[in-house]
Amino acid sequence: MEQERQPAAPAPAAPDKKRRWLGTAIALLLIAGLGALAWHLTHPAAGARNGASAGGPPGPGGPGGPGGPGGRRGGSNATTVGVASVAHADIPIYVDALGTVTPSATVTVTPQVSGVLTKVPFQEGQMVKAGQLLATIEPRPFELALMQAQGQLQKDEAQLDAAKVTLDRYQTLLRQDSIARQDVDTQAALVKQLQGTVLGDQASVGTARLNLQWTRITAGPCNLETGPCGARAWQATGASKALAPTLAMATRATELGVAVFFITGRPAELQEATEANLRREGYTFAGVILQPAGARFQSAADFKAPERRKITEQGYTIVLNMGDQESDLRGGYAERTFKLPNPVYFLP
């Protein structure tokens, strides 16, 4: 008996085929997107390339070379720029090391009284002003010494007052011829003696008060911020004024063809300031001679006379030598000399 063959059910081919095409399309889109992204990252826009290349010429290697429009380090690559505000501040770089600091000037302050230093109200390197407190010495011993001197003064003043009253009584009795003159003279001598004692006590009180003031060490009268301090510092400013008669004579000498030389005891480091000062005040000169650095002379003549000799050795004849000190004129090498008045100072 033959069995009846039933036909097999057909496979659903259409849905599988659609899924394959869909996956293929998605894969192609992903590949295309990745390619476009890679192209965009590796090939910037033309405007960006032109803007980058317009900033300067191609690099030394030309296009494609280092620094050129096609190179890896060329101007076409983007550069990150940081922006910050400009500020004036110390650079926080510290170096810990051993060293020696040499001051430009050293000043030794010597106190007038001795004692324990109790206060130093300034910092090293600080700019101080005139009269500023620099240090304090323990004042209590000097306060007690002042009190002791004042007490002794009061005691002796009381004795003096009593002696004067007694003297007045003796003089009254003497006029009445009721006391010997010797007693009156003795009492008068005692009054004078006590007056001398009181005068000495007053000096002791003044000394004690002065010692108490010296327990406060203050800066001198010169203000270093405004200056100048001292004669040399003033000379270094080049602000000295010319004496009108002297300037007029030097100007007339120059007009007549006479060379004018200045020989001064200023140190050599003031050469530039001195010459600038003379020119500013209207002087015309053939030379300005200053004392050599480190040189020491017992008299100004020991320095200036040899300098005049050097001038004559150059072929000049010194017809007039002027100065405000006698030592400026000694030593010869001049036909005439003239002493200018100077009541302010004297130099040997």
Q: What is the DSSP string of 105-124?
A: -------SS---EEE--S-T
Which range is least confidently modeled, 21-25, 71-75, 144-148, 296-300? 71-75
Q: What is the pLDDT of residue 126?
A: 80
Q: How confident is the model at residue 60 (pLDDT cuts 50, 70, 90)?
A: very low
Give the pLDDT score at 220.
77
Closest CA to 139 of 220, 209, 218: 209
Average pLDDT over residues 7-34: 67
CA dist list (Å): 44 to 38, 75, 211? 11, 12, 88
Report, as an integer, the average pLDDT of 35-56: 58
pLDDT computed for residue 315 by the predictor: 94
Question: What integer is the mean pLDDT of 277-287?
Answer: 94
* Parallel, antiparallel or unpaired: strands 337-339 and 321-323: parallel
Interval 256-272 mean pLDDT: 92
Residue 42 scores a pLDDT above 70:
no
CA dist., res. 123 & res. 132, Å (int): 13
Mean of pLDDT over the chain: 82
Chain-centroid distance of CA 98 in Å reads 25
Distance CA 93, CA 282 (A): 51
* pLDDT tens, residue by residue, 297-319: 989 999 999 999 999 999 999 99
Whether 33 has a pLDDT exceeding 90, the answer reads no
pLDDT at 24: 78
pLDDT for 45 beyond 60: no
Q: Residue 68: what pLDDT?
A: 45
Helical pair 140-175 and 181-213, crossing angle rounded to 10 deg: 160
pLDDT (0 to 100) of residue 104: 65
**What is residue 81's three-state secondary structure?**
coil
pLDDT score of 17: 63
Q: Which DSSP helix (H) or strand (E) runs through 348?
A: none
Q: How does pLDDT run across 105-135, given as a tens digit for each residue?
A: 677 788 889 999 999 998 877 877 878 898 9
The model carries a pTM of 0.42
